[in-house]
Amino acid sequence: MNHISTAVLGEEYTELQKVVREFANEVVNPVAAEHDRNHTFPYEVVSQMGEMGLFGLPFPEEVGGMGGDYLSFGIALEELAKVDQSVAITLEAGVGLGAMPIFHFGNEEQKSKYLPELTAGKKLAGFGLTEPDAGSDAGATRTTAREEGDEFVINGSKQFITNSGTDITSLVTVTAVTGQDESGKKEISTIIVPSGTEGFTVEPGYDKVGWNASDTHPLTFSNVRVPKENLLGTRGRGFANFLSILAEGRVAIAALATGAAQGCVDESVRYAKERNSMGRAISEYQAISFKIARMEARAHTARMAWYDAAAKMAAGVDFRREAYIAKMVASEAAMDNARDATQIHGGYGFMNEYRVSRHYRDSKILEIGEGTTEVQLMLIARGLGL
C-alpha cells in the first residue's frame, strides 16, 4: 500500500520510499522467516543495504554519506520494519548508535578513520551504555576507565548491546567513569574500543523473545587498554552526549515502530479479504473491518507524530518533546496492532512463518528499548512542569 503522497513528502522522498519498499519485499521478505527461525544475522541483506546507501542516508557526502536527513532515514526504517524488524533495527542501531556518535562528537582523525566504512555499511558499530544496574540512571554506571600513562584501562560490563558481535563490527563506544567532577559526582566519558582489543570479550548472544536476526550481546572489559586518543568528545560529557543521540534515536525508533504497525495493517487487510468464514470473506464482518480501521488509525497517528519530530529536528529547533511523544505513540501502536493482527489471523497468527507472529514477538521491545514508555511519560510530564 502507498500511504503517503508525493504532495506530502516530495518526489525525492517518495522515490526513496518506493525503492526501499521494493527491496524489503523482494530481498528481505524471502529470507526473514529463516533468519528469525535460525537466529542468524542477515549479512547478505546488510551488505546490499550498504550498497544502496541506506547506512549513509542522514550523513553529509563529505563523510561518505548520502546527504539526506532523518526524514529519509526514517522512511527507510519504516519500509523495512513492515517486513522485518530485525533488519530495521540493525540499520537503526548501525546509524543512530554506531556511526552518529562519531559523526557528532568525534575529532577529524576519528571521523576519517571510522566513518567511511560505517556510512557505507561495510562495518558496524555499537554503543555500550546499559549495564545490569545502569541505563537511564547515569549515576549507577560502574564501568571505569582509569588513566595509566597515555592509555585508559577499562574494567566493567555492558548488556543488551546491538551490533556488538558481528563479523563486521569494528568498534563499540562505551560510557565509563573517568573520575569525579567538582561536586563529587561521577565523571562519565565515552571511549572508543576497537573490536579485538585484548581483554574486550563479546559474550554469547542472548536468547531473545524477538528480533532474533539482530545481533545483541553482553560485553565484558577486563583491563582493556586503549590510547587516550580514543576518548570520544569532551571528557565528562559522555552521558550528556548520549542523551542527545538518544533523542534522535527515539525519532528513528518511532519510524521503525510505525512500519511495524503498518505492516500489521497491510497483512490483516490481505488476510481478511482472502479468508472465508460461513460463506463470506471475514473482511465483510464489521467486527473485523472496524478492528482493522482502528489499526490503520493508530499507524497513521504514529506516522504523523514521527514526521512532526523529524521536521522539527531538520529545522534545528528543540524536538525532544515531539520525540518522546512519537516514540511512545508509535511503540504502543506497534504492540496494539500486532496483538490485533494476530487475533484476526486466528490460529495462523500463532504460527511463526506468518509475518504477524514475528511482529507480535518483535514489537514488545519497542515499548522498552531507547527509553521505556514510562520514561517517555515522565519526560513529557516534566516538560509540562509536572
pLDDT in tens, 32-50: 999 999 999 999 999 999 9
Q: Average pLDDT, whole number, for the chain?
A: 94
Q: For a pLDDT cut of 70, what percent of the chain falls above it?
A: 97
- Residues 63, 192: Cα–Cα separation, whole Å: 18
Q: Which of 237, 270, 297 is the last residue of a domain?
A: 237
Q: How many helices (H) and strands (E) does the chain have?
A: 13, 10
Residue 303 pLDDT > 60: yes
Q: Which of 181, 202, 237 is the last residue of a domain?
A: 237
Model confidence pLDDT, tens digit, residues 260-294: 999 999 999 999 999 988 889 999 899 999 999 99
Residue 2 pLDDT > 60: no
> Do residue 255 and residue 367 come from a single domain?
yes
The CATH number given to whatever domain includes residue 254 is 1.20.140.10
**What value does the mean pLDDT take over residues 91-98?**
97
> Do residue 83 and residue 172 come from a single domain?
no
Question: How much is the pLDDT for 182?
Answer: 79
**What value does the mean pLDDT take over residues 343-360?**
93
Q: What is the DSSP letter of 134?
A: B
- Residues 32, 87: Cα–Cα separation, whole Å: 8
Beta strands 124-128 and 144-148 are unpaired
Q: Taking a C-beta distance cutoff of 8 angstroms, is the pair 196, 70 a contact?
A: no
> Do residue 256 and residue 348 come from a single domain?
yes
Question: How much is the pLDDT for 136?
Answer: 67
- Residues 194, 113: Cα–Cα separation, whole Å: 12
> Do residue 258 and residue 320 come from a single domain?
yes
Residue 345 pLDDT > 90: yes
Containing structural domain, residue 61: 6-124
pTM for the whole thing? 0.94
1 domain-assigned: no
> Do residue 32 and residue 62 come from a single domain?
yes
> Do residue 108 and residue 174 come from a single domain?
no
> Do residue 31 and residue 134 come from a single domain?
no
Q: What residues act catalytically?
A: 370
Query: What is the band of 138 on the pLDDT scale with cuts at 50, 70, 90?
Result: low
Domain count, the chain: 3
At 241, give phi and psi (nearest 5°).
-65, -40
Residue 135 pLDDT > 70: no
